[in-house]
Structure 1
C-alpha cells in the first residue's frame, strides 16, 4: 500500500475544505469586527518601547491610536498601514510604534476604527536587572482546526501567570500563504491573555510554504509582525534580536533550504550579523531562538555534502 506523506494529506484536506466552502472560514470573533487580532510585538527594549499591531479586511481605512499614561494624559499616534493581497484576500496591517516609555509602568492603549474601540493594557518591563519569566512554545500549526493550539495556550498561560512575554519558535501556521490558517492562529493568540503581553515570532519552514505546498516567500509572516530592525536591506524581519531584563535574545532564521533559491544570500548575511550582534551585547545572558535544530537528523545539511543520520 502506498504511504501518503503528511504534506500530501494536508494538501488534500485543504482542497476538501475549499470544495466544501469551509476553506474560507474566518473565526467568528474576527469576522464580526472591523478591528481584527490586536497584538503587541516585542521591541529591542521592552522597558521603554512597544509595538502594537492589528489588521482589517480590505484596503486602508481611517484608524487612530491613543496611549494613556497612569497620570491620565492621552497621547495620539498615527498608525502606519500596509496592504497585502494574498490568497485572493486583501488585508491591511496597522502598526503603531511606542517609544520613550517609562520602565515598569502600566499604560492603556486604545485602537479606534469606524465605530469600534479596542483597549489593550501595555505594561513595560521593569529594571533591566530584574528577573523575569517567559513562555516559549513551538509548532502551533494545526491542520483542520486550531482548537488544540487554543487548549494548549490556555493551559500554558494558566500555569505561568507571571510570564512577561510569549515566544512561538516557528511553524506558527501550517501554510504561510493561507489566510484561513493565519486568521485561525491569530484568533487564538489574540483571544487569550497573550494579547496583553509582547509576542515574539520566530519564522519556521511552514511560514515559507505556498498554497501548492511549494517553497514561497514568507510575505504574510513579514506583514503580520513588525519585529525589531536588523539593519538589513534584503532581509528585514527575517531575523532580529532584543533585550529583556538581564538577557539578550537572538532570533535566527533557519529556513535556508526553503528560501535560498527564491531569495539567495540569507545564510551569509545572517552569519555576519550574528557575529556583530553577539559581540555588541553586554548582557550576562545570551539566548538563541530558532526553529530548526542545530543538528537536523535525516536532513541534508547545506554546504556539507552529506546527510546526517540518526
Structure 2
C-alpha cells in the first residue's frame, strides 16, 4: 500500500467569474459574503480548488453538551479559514469561530490541517456549521450537542479496523450507520490503521467514514499499530496524536495518549495501552495512567462509568504455544483492581480480533456485581482464524470462523444494552446492564 510520499503544492486558483462550486467530501463550496446575515451570492469571485478541504471530522470534547471540536485537512494552505456557526436553519443569527493551524510533517508529507473549537453551546441543541476561506464556503454540517439531563443516547462501537485496502472497514462502518441512524457518537477501540506512519492508509480510513465522522463526534482509542513506521519498527504515534485532538489530560509526556469525556449521563475513561511500543522513546505511561485513572474516576459524578481501551485484560492460550498460560494480561493485572475499586460498570477492549462476552468479573471470577467486560472483535479484514483457545471466563464467542463485526450501545435510563452484529446485520449477542 505505497504511493508517492510527496504531495504537489498546487496553487490557489482564482477565477474572476463563474459559479463557485467545488466538491468537498460530498459537499459543495459556494461563495458567501463574509458579513453576518448576508445571502449567499450566485456568482463567485474566487473558487477553491478541488478537495481543498477534506476528511472533515467532529471530535469529542470533555463536555459534549457544551462543545465540539472540528478538524479537517487541506490540499493547500487556506488564506483566511474560519467556521460559521448557527442554530439549525437560523440564517439571521450567525457567529464566526476562529481556526488554528494544526499542520504537521510525517511520512514525507506536509499534512495541512485545521482545527476549531465550538464552545459555549447549549445542551441538547441542534446547530450547524460551515467552513469558510475568504469568499468561499462549504455546505452546512450538523452539530447535535449531548443532553445533560436526559439519560438516553445510542453509540456505535468499532475496533481494529486495520486493513489491506479498507473496503471491509468502509462496508462495516457505512452499513452500521445506515442501520442505526439514531447513533449520536461512535468510537474505534484502536488499531485504526495497520501502519501508523502510512499516510495512504489514513486517507483510506478517513474516506471510509465520509457521511459519518463529519456528522457525529468520534472518540478514538490508540492501538499498538498506530505506533509502527513504514519499516514496521516501533515509533511514537505521530499521526494518530495529531489527527485526533482529544481532551487534554495534564500530562507532560503523554498528552492525548489517554483522556476522559462525558456524554449524557455516562463518563468515559479512554486508556492508552501502548507502553511496550513506545518504551524505547519514553517510559512511565502505565503507572502515570493508573494514578490518573483513580483521580479521574473519583472526580466524576456521572452515574455510569465506562472504560475504553485497546489491549485486552485477559491472556489467552494459543494452541501452538503450550507455554502460554490462560490468565490476565499486564493491562488487566494493573487496571482491573482500579475498575473494581471505583465501580466501573463496563470495560470495552479490542486487539485480539475476536468477539468475546465475558460477563461481569470481580477478582478474576464471575460476579454479577463486577464490571462487564466485552472484547469487541474486529471491524477490518485482518483476521486470526481460530488462533485463541477459549478462556474460562468467556460466556459468548462469535461464530467461527470469525468475520468482522460492530456493536451498538443504547443508554436508556438505568440500563445499557449492547448488541453485537455481523456485517450483514445479523445479531449474534445482546447484553443488558442494569443499575
TM-score under structure 1 length normalisation: 0.85
Q: Return the alpha-carbon distance in structure 2 between the equivalents of residues 85 and 289 of structure 1.
A: 29
Partner of 1:134: 155
Partner of 1:90: 110
Partner of 2:403: none
Distance 1:273 1:96, change over 3 A: same
1:176 to 196, 200, 203: 196
Q: Return the alpha-carbon distance in structure 2 between the equivalents of residues 52 and 97 of structure 1.
A: 6
Partner of 1:99: 119
Q: Return the alpha-carbon distance in structure 1 between the equivalents of residues 302 and 141 of structure 2.
A: 30
Paired residue secondary structure (1:174): coil
Give yes or no for contact 1:58–1:90 (8 Å, CA) kept in 2. Answer: no
Partner of 2:237: 218
Distance 1:138 1:101, change over 3 A: same
Count of equivalent residues: 286
Q: Return the alpha-carbon distance in structure 1 between the equivalents of residues 127 and 281 of structure 2.
A: 42
Stretches of structure 2 that go unaligned for 5 or more consecutive residues are 8-22, 26-48, 318-323, 334-388, 392-435
Matched, 1:287 2:278: no
Give yes or no for contact 2:313–2:330 (8 Å, CA) kept in 1. Answer: no
Stretches of structure 1 that go unaligned for 5 or more consecutive residues are 1-13
* Cα deviations by residue, 1:194-250 (Å, 9 ceiling, x for unpaired): 321000110011111111111111110011111011111211111000111111001
* Cα deviations by residue, 1:165-203 (Å, 9 ceiling, x for unpaired): 0101101111111110111101112x1233210001100
Equivalent residues in 2 for 1:95-174 (5 A)? 95-113=115-133, 115=136, 117-143=138-164, 145-174=165-194
Give yes or no for contact 2:185–2:216 (8 Å, CA) kept in 1. Answer: yes
RMSD: 2.7
Paired residue secondary structure (2:185): strand
Q: Return the alpha-carbon distance in structure 2 between the equivalents of residues 268 and 63 of structure 1.
A: 41
2:284 to 265, 269, 274: 265
Partner of 2:101: 81
2:65 to 36, 47, 50: 47
- Tell me by how many angstroms 1:161 deviates: 1.5
| Higher mean C-alpha deviation, range 108-117 or range 279-288 | 108-117
Partner of 1:9: none
Larger radius of gyration: 2
Give yes or no for contact 2:126–2:143 (8 Å, CA) kept in 1. Answer: yes
Matched, 1:250 2:269: yes
Which one has the bigger helix percentage? 1
